[in-house]
Amino acid sequence: MAQTNIIDKNIERQIITFAHILRSAGVTLGISEIMEALEVLSVLDVTDRDQVYRGLSAVMAKSRRDERAFDEAFNAFFVPPQVRDAQMAQYFLRHQQVEQLREDFVFKEKPMDIDDEDIETYAAMSEEDRQKVRDFIRKADTGVNVTESLKPVIEQQVQSILRRQRDRISAPPPLPGEVTGVEEWDAILYNMAQQRFEQDLLLKDIADISDDEMKEAIVLIRQLARILANRIGRRYKNSSGRKTVDMRRSIRNGLRYGGVLMELKYKKYRIQKPTVVVITDISGSMLKYSTFLLELMFGLSAVLPKIRSYVFAERLKRVDMSRFDPDTFIRDSDLGNTTDFYASLLEFLAEYEKMLNKNTVLIILSDTKTIKYKEAAEKIGEIRRRVKDILWLNPMKTVEWGRFGQTRAFIPHVSMVEASTIDTLMKALKDL
């Protein structure tokens, strides 16, 4: 009985702490909701995460806005100890970085009045832009006839610089604006902000991902590539189940018993891994989409070793997937400014036609806006009859496809799906 009381008290403390986290995240909760949550848990299996989630959300999330905050808080709060340790380490590292950056804002040996939001903007800026701010403060600090009385004016000018920067960059998740004073709680709140930042990045159109966000986006897609690779790898393992008797092997094996089938042999089926050929457009705005696709394919190369990748604009070029680096790829991608898919397709067929067979999945990434699109569509129709499938990843929104004759020309010959975000890109490739 004593053990039960200890468990109950521990659950009570956990729920009260969780309620504090939700309040800090903007969810309105009173004593009545907390009591209802404890009452609900008393009739649930508290070791079943799904039951706990549904039970608590029913009484603690009263609106759509609350539901999002509840999901973020639940996923950040109810975690194993090693995950909590990682949250704390990440929070302390971020806190240390921000505090170090505050040291740049000193005028006449006194700290400047720069708020947390401006510091977060400063942290998200490139080193080159931060240096410009430091140079401005240094010149003001060492100027002729500049006294401490000008400190409010200098602060206002620095704030204006940072707020102009805020309009054109996307900062990483901020530290909690109103800290609770409990480091573990603040670490959880920071983790929630990180989750929201990644979710927003996941659903953001790839073309709108800023240069400052690219590093975070590449890290995110590498994490997702590992998840997708594990899923694909499991699908291609040998089947261990007995499905069909292999009569030829069974009869041959029975000869040692005088023709009696004493030991049946069964066929084992293995799904053959496809040869994946990627042809992706890097002209104009397509470069970012192609970078993300190739980074994802690089992550899948361990489970799909037969991946061959090519990029095109006015002409075709093969990409070495064994040492793919997004920064180098973006810097060295210069194959012309216009899009000539037909010429690139003919170039591919002249050099690599032998790759195309009934085990080949051809993946094309393009918005279909190319010269000679009718000829290219006709050639794609010929290729479709020779390969397993043609998956066309189109960054345009699905509702816009009907507006363009180029898109309508390709649709009958391919499996066209929208791939405008990291999320839709992952969903498009999940069945490879």
Of 232, 254, 270, the last residue of a domain is 270
Mark 377-410 as b/e (b = at least 16 C-beta within 10 Å). bebbeebbeebbebbbbbbbeeeebeeeebbebb
pLDDT at 240 (0 to 100) = 47
Please indicate, yes or no, whether residues 68 and 92 belong to a single structural domain of this protein. no
Query: Using CB atoms within 10 A of its CB, is residue 432 exposed (0-12), middle (13-18) or buried (19+)?
Result: buried
pLDDT at 348 (0 to 100) = 94
Helix and strand tally (H, E) in the chain?
Answer: 17, 10
pLDDT at 173 (0 to 100) = 54
Is 105 part of any domain? yes
Is 230 part of any domain? no
Of 153, 181, 203, the last residue of a domain is 203
Is 218 part of any domain? no
- How far, in whole angstroms, is CA 174 from its chain's centroid? 19
pLDDT at 93 (0 to 100) = 83
> In 3-state terms, what secondary structure has residue 308?
strand
pLDDT tens digits, one per residue of 341-379 = 999 999 999 999 988 999 999 999 999 999 999 999 999
Is a pLDDT exceeding 90 seen at residue 242? Answer: no
Is 231 part of any domain? no
pLDDT at 350 (0 to 100) = 93
Is 182 part of any domain? yes
Is 223 part of any domain? no
Does the pTM exceed 0.75? no
pLDDT at 320 (0 to 100) = 85
pLDDT tens digits, one per residue of 170-201 = 555 555 545 677 888 888 888 887 777 777 78
In 3D, which of 130, 107, 132 has the Cα closest to residue 120?
130
pLDDT at 246 (0 to 100) = 76
Contacts of 118 (CB under 8 A, 6+ apart): 158, 159, 162, 163, 166
Please indicate, yes or no, whether residues 422 and 288 belong to a single structural domain of this protein. yes
Contact 40, 59 (CB under 8 A): yes
Please indicate, yes or no, whether residues 184 and 158 belong to a single structural domain of this protein. yes
**Mean pLDDT of all residues in the chain?**
83
Q: Backbone phi, then psi, for 145, in 5-degree steps?
A: 60, 25
Please indicate, yes or no, whether residues 8 and 90 belong to a single structural domain of this protein. no
Please indicate, yes or no, whether residues 301 and 414 belong to a single structural domain of this protein. yes
Block residue for tokens 């983790």: 191
Please indicate, yes or no, whether residues 425 and 371 belong to a single structural domain of this protein. yes
Cα separation of the two ends of the chain:
54
CATH number at residue 337: 3.40.50.410
Is 210 part of any domain? no
Please indicate, yes or no, whether residues 289 and 394 belong to a single structural domain of this protein. yes
Please indicate, yes or no, whether residues 281 and 411 belong to a single structural domain of this protein. yes
Angle at 132 between CA 128 and CA 134, to 5 degrees: 110
Please indicate, yes or no, whether residues 246 and 298 belong to a single structural domain of this protein. no
Is 280 part of any domain? yes
In 3D, which of 5, 78, 3, 82 has the Cα closest to residue 47?
78
Per-residue pLDDT averaged across 108-123, rounded? 84
Lowest mean pLDDT among 168-182, 248-262, 267-281: 168-182
Domain that holds residue 245: 240-270
Please indicate, yes or no, whether residues 39 and 108 belong to a single structural domain of this protein. no
Structural domain count of the chain? 4
Sign of the CA dihedral 203, 206, 210, 215? positive
pLDDT at 168 (0 to 100) = 59
Please indicate, yes or no, whether residues 299 and 195 belong to a single structural domain of this protein. no
Q: Which carries the bigger pLDDT value, residue 285 or residue 380?
A: 380
Please indicate, yes or no, whether residues 415 and 292 belong to a single structural domain of this protein. yes
Is a pLDDT exceeding 90 seen at residue 218? Answer: no
How sure is the predictor about 402, in pLDDT bands with cuts at 50, 70 and 90? very high
pLDDT at 357 (0 to 100) = 93
Of 78, 112, 134, the last residue of a domain is 78
pLDDT at 235 (0 to 100) = 67
Q: Which carries the bigger pLDDT value, residue 75 or residue 4?
A: 75
Is a pLDDT exceeding 80 seen at residue 217? Answer: yes
pLDDT at 264 (0 to 100) = 77
Which residues partner with 106 through β-bridges?
Answer: 111
pLDDT at 385 (0 to 100) = 94
Per-residue pLDDT averaged across 243-251, rounded? 75
pLDDT tens digits, one per residue of 139-175 = 988 888 888 888 888 889 988 888 887 655 555 555 5
Per-residue pLDDT averaged across 370-398, rounded? 94
